[in-house]
Structure 1
Amino acid sequence: MLLRERDTQKGVLVSVCDPDCLGKTFENEAATLAVTEEFYGGPDAVEATREEVVAGLQRAQIANIVGETAVGVALEAGLVDEDAVLEFDGTRHAQLLWV
Structure 2
Amino acid sequence: MIVAERETPEGLLVAVCDREVLGETFESGEFSLTVTEEFYGGDDAGEQEVTNSLARATVANIVGEKAVDLAVDEGIVDEANVLEVGETVHAQLLRM
Match for residue 55 of structure 1 among 52, 55, 66: 52
Q: In 1, distance between residues paired with 2:29 and 2:7? A: 32
2:20 counterpart residue number: 20
Q: Runs of 4 or more off by more than 6 Å in structure 1?
A: none
Q: Cα deviation per residue 1:27-48 (whole Å; 9 max; x = unaligned)?
A: 112411010000001xxx1110
Gaps of 5+ in 2: none
Identity rate, percent: 53
TM-score by length of 1: 0.95
1:10 counterpart residue number: 10
Gaps of 5+ in 1: none
Q: In 2, distance between residues paired with 1:98 and 1:30? A: 27
Aligned residue type for 2:37 = E
Considering only aligned residues, what root-mean-square deviation do their CA atoms show, in Å? Answer: 0.7
1:36 counterpart residue number: 36
Question: Number of paired residues?
Answer: 96
